[in-house]
C-alpha cells in the first residue's frame, strides 16, 4: 500500500470536509493515519500467518521502482448496493510508475505462490469516508499530490479501522 504524506493527507481531509458540507454527507472521516492506496491484497486473515508475511516481505524486497509523483484529481463514490458507499479521492490519469509498481508486486506475489490480481483493473483511490449518499465523479480544481517514496505491507484488521505495519520499503529504482 501507499500512504500519503502528512500534507497530502491534510489536503485530502479538507476536500472531504468541503464535500461533506456540499453534499450533506454524514459518515465519519477515516482517521488520517489510515489513509492509504491499496495496491494488492494477500488474503483476509484474522491473524496473518507468519509464512505469508515472510513470503510477502521477501517479495517486497525485490521491488525496484523509482520515486514518483502521484496526483489524485477526482472525487466520487464507489457504489456498494445496500451498504455505505466509499467516498474516495482518485486519479483520472494513468501513472506508468504506479502501474509498474503494482505489476512488480503482483508478479512477485504470483511467483511466491501468494494471492494476486495479475492484470486486474486498478483505480488508484484513497477512501476518505463512508456514507449512504452518492457523490458523482467530479474533477478537483486543486489535486492532491505527493512524491511516493516508499510502499508498505500492512495487516488490516477488517472492520476495526486498525492497521499493523509489517514492513516498509523505499522506492529506489
- The pLDDT, as a whole number, for residue 118 is 60
Burial 26-37 (b: 16+ CB within 10 A, else e): ebebbeeebbbb
At 15-48, the pLDDT tens digits run 999 999 999 999 999 999 999 998 887 767 777 7
Does 90 fall in a domain? yes
State how far the alpha carbon of 87 is from the alpha carbons of 19, 51, 80, 148, in Å.
9, 34, 11, 22
What's the CATH number where 146 sits?
A: 3.90.1140.10
User: Region 129-157: what's the mean pLDDT?
Assistant: 93
User: Does residue 63 have a pLDDT over 90?
Assistant: yes
Position 20 scores a pLDDT of 96
Output the CA torsion 21→22→24→28 (10° steps): -50
72 assigned to some structural domain: yes
Rounded average pLDDT over 127-148? 96
Residue 150 near residue 66, CB atoms below 8 Å: no
Which pLDDT band, with edges at 50, 70 and 90, does 159 fall under? low
Q: Which three cell numbers stand for residue 160?
A: 476495526
- Distance between CA atoms of residues 149 and 5, nearest Å: 10
Predicted local distance difference test score (pLDDT) of residue 126: 97
pLDDT tier, 163 (very low <50, low <70, confident <90, very high otherwise): confident
Domain count, the chain: 1
The band of 51, judged by pLDDT with boundaries at 50, 70 and 90, is confident
Global pTM reads 0.89
Q: Is residue 115 part of a domain?
A: yes
Q: If you count DSSP H runs as helices and E runs as strands, how many of each does the chain have, helices first?
A: 3, 6
Give the mean pLDDT of 71-86.
Answer: 91
Q: Is residue 1 part of a domain?
A: no
Structural domain of residue 146, as residue ranges?
A: 6-170
The strands making up 85-90's β-sheet, listed across from edge to edge, are: 125-131, 85-90, 68-78, 138-148
CA distances from residue 47 to 100, 155, 157, 162, 169 in whole angstroms, order as listed:
30, 9, 9, 13, 22
Amino acid at each position: 500500500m501507499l500512504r500519503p504524506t502528512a500534507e497530502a493527507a491534510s489536503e485530502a481531509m479538507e476536500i472531504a470536509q468541503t464535500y461533506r458540507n456540499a453534499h450533506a454527507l454524514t459518515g465519519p472521516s477515516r482517521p488520517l493515519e489510515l489513509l492509504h492506496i491499496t495496491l494488492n491484497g494477500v488474503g483476509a486473515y484474522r491473524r496473518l500467518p507468519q509464512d505469508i508475511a515472510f513470503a510477502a516481505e521477501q517479495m517486497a524486497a525485490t521491488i525496484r521502482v523509482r520515486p514518483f509523483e502521484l496526483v489524485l484529481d477526482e472525487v466520487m463514490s464507489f457504489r456498494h448496493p445496500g451498504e455505505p458507499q466509499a467516498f474516495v479521492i482518485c486519479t483520472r490519469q494513468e501513472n506508468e510508475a504506479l502501474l509498474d509498481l503494482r505489476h512488480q508486486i503482483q508478479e512477485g506475489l504470483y511467483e511466491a505462490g501468494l494471492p494476486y490480481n495479475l492484470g486486474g483493473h486498478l483505480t488508484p483511490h484513497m477512501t476518505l469516508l463512508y456514507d449512504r449518499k452518492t457523490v458523482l465523479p467530479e474533477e478537483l480544481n486543486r489535486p492532491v499530490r505527493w512524491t511516493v517514496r516508499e510502499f508498505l505491507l500492512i495487516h488490516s484488521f477488517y472492520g476495526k479501522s486498525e492497521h499493523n505495519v509489517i514492513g516498509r520499503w523505499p522506492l529506489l529504482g
